[in-house]
Structures are given as C-alpha cells and as structure tokens.
Structure 1
Amino acid sequence: MMGSGSSCELQLVENPFTAESIEARLYETIARMQSPSTVSEIAVRADCEPQTVREYLQSFVSLGVVIEHRDNPPAYERNDAYFDWDTVKTLAREHSLAELEDHIQMLLEQVQTYQERYDAETPDAVTSSTADPAEADMTEWIGARAELRRYEQARQIRLSKFDGSA
C-alpha cells in the first residue's frame, strides 16, 4: 500500500541535502520510488553500500520521509504525505496570498468544468452510465483536485501567518 495520495499527484520536493552527498542521493532515490523497496534495491539505485543505506534509512524513517515495512527483508516506501506537506509549505513560502488565491480560483473553475461535463461531483462518481469518461480528463481532474487541496492548505498557512498564529 502506498503512502497517502497518488504518486502521480506529487511534485518532487527540492532536495534539502548538499549536492553529491550520500544523503542527497538517497533522498532523490526515495523521492522517485514508486513502490516499497529493499535496502539492496535502494543501494543499487543510489549507488551506495547497503550498510550505509541501512544507517541513513533509519534517520529517514525518524524524519517521516520513508515508511518502514517490517517484512523479511524489510522494505521501505516513500511517505507521500511527507512530500505532499513539504510541497504545501513550499507553496506557502514562495507565493503571496493573492497568488495562491488566484491559482485556487483557476483550479476551482477547472474542477467545476469537469463536474459539469460529467455531471458528477468527483471523478470517482463518474460511471459509464453517466458519461463516457476520457482517461485524460479523469487524470487531469484528479490532478486539479489534488493541486487545489495543496493550494488551499498553503493559503491557510499564509492566513495563519497574517493572524500572527504561526
């Protein structure tokens, strides 16, 4: 089971580690993982020794970057919630309240267009009996809803900063 959210919805978060460091390579590898992976698989992708990967993965588990599955052998999965929240914080930091609100309005209009086109509140509510859904429309609609959620969360962060409560 993947972490919360779909991996296709997430933007890659800027790597917080020094370029070319082991941490940076592991972080990039984790950010691109699509499914749980063993230490050996991660070591190959990150071009690191398995023991080194094992040590750093424990730190990444503690930080919430990865989720550890205690299988035999253990597997590690990118924590989509971590990357999603980091994206929200970045949006709030890099955009003004007005920019966030303008983008939210554009996304609301996009979502409303799909709701009207398919006579449904959500992509999940679209059935072949209500409409003939185009796969590209469904993907874009799902993406717009996810982006809207992130921008609304970023807006809340900006509003809380204006209230002095953040």
Structure 2
Amino acid sequence: MDDRVEIDMAEFDPVPDSEETDPGRRHWRETTDTFGRVYDTVLGITELTSYTEIANVADCSPNAAKKHLDRLAEMGIARADRESRPARYERNDSYLEWQEASRIADELSVEEIIDRVQRLEVRREEFEERFETSDPSSVSVFEQEDHDAIHERMAAVSEWQAIGRDIRLYELARQMAENDGHILPA
C-alpha cells in the first residue's frame, strides 16, 4: 500500500508577496495615500525613471502615478521629461536644497549660520592647500598605489565636496533668515 501524499505544487508560491516579507512596506501602503506614496518614491529617484516604474514602486496604477507626478513637477518637487515615451521623472535636487536651507534658517540665528559658514570655509581651505587646487573634481583619487590610501583620498574628496554643498546651503539659509524666509529682499 502506497501512503504517499500528493502535493499540489501550485499551492506553493516560490516568491512570497513583498508585503508578507516586509511589514514596513505593508504599513506604508496602509497608512499613506497614493499621492504620498508617489511623493515618497520620487524623492528616492536620482535619475529619470518612467512613470510606470514609479507606479510599481508606489503600489498604484500608472495613471494615478502620472497624475501625481505631473502635479509634483508643477510644484517643482520633481523634474519631468514628458517628451520620452513613457514620460520619465526624477526628484528635483534644487527643491530639496531649498527645503533644507529653509529648515536651517528656521533653526539657527543669522550669527550661528555665519559662524558655521566661516568654519566650513576654513575646512575647505585646508583641502585646497592639501590638494593644491580649488576644485575637488580635479583630484584623481587613484594616484595612490595602496588601497587604504585610495580609500582615504576618496573619503577626503567626498568630504570636501560635501563642505562645498554645505556652504551653499548655509549661505542660502542666511539669505532666507535675513529676508524673512525669502531668498531676495522684498
């Protein structure tokens, strides 16, 4: 007598649903409306991406994603390439920089901002002297033979570039703080 049990393999899904394996994604889906999910998704996109791919990540229909992406582009939060088929979108880094500068202007006094910029400028000058240039992109990080030296040089150039970005942000924040939240005087 054969006691083997036949198992219907169709009952077993080799790839579990992403919401089953990622409770954070399930929570995001349940607590965030479609616009919010498209917004969150586009903020994570650093290169032009089709609205259909964005819809997939945002867990919504392509039509809903495109509608919200067009709205985000009108608001300046996203950049759109509507000439491509399908239309493609990416985050607008200028918007994020403005948002960060606005936060700094709200949190710090003009004097604190000026002090921070002065400290950053001193650090930038140290890098310029060390690498004998004012342009971090002109520094070759691979001139070293030792892996640790290459890694250290890459980290230094990255920090130098971040300092340049921070100086721009704090200068923008200073302008906003001095002009009641506006970039230009009224």
- TM-score bracket relative to the smaller structure: 0.7 to 0.9
* Deviation of 1:21 (Å): 2.3
SS in 2 for 1:161: coil
Q: Would you identify which runs of 4 or more consecutive aligned residues in structure 1 move more than 2 Å?
A: 124-128
Identify which of 64, 71, 76 aligns with 1:52.
64
**1:63 is aligned with what amino acid?**
M
* Aligned with 2:107 (options 81, 94, 99): 94
What amino acid does structure 1 have at the position aligned with 2:101?
A: V
- Residue 64 of structure 1 pairs with residue 76 of structure 2: yes
Which residue is 1:142 aligned to? Answer: 161
TM-score by length of 1: 0.78
Deviation at 1:126, TM superposition (A): 3.2
- Tell me the CA shift for residue 98 of structure 1: 2.2
Shift of 1:109: 1.6
Aligned length: 144
Equivalent residue runs for 1:8-47 within 5 Å = 20-47=32-59
Structure exhibiting the larger radius of gyration computed from Cα positions? 2
> 1:42 & 1:158 partners in 2: Cα distance?
36
2:22 is matched with: none
Alpha-carbon separation, structure 2, partners of 1:127 and 1:37: 31
The 8 Å contact of residues 51 and 89 in structure 2, kept in 1 or not, is answered as: yes
Task: Give the 3-state SS of the residue equivalent to 1:77 in structure 2.
Answer: strand
Percent sequence identity is 28
The runs of 5 or more residues in structure 2 that have no matched partner are 1-30, 145-149
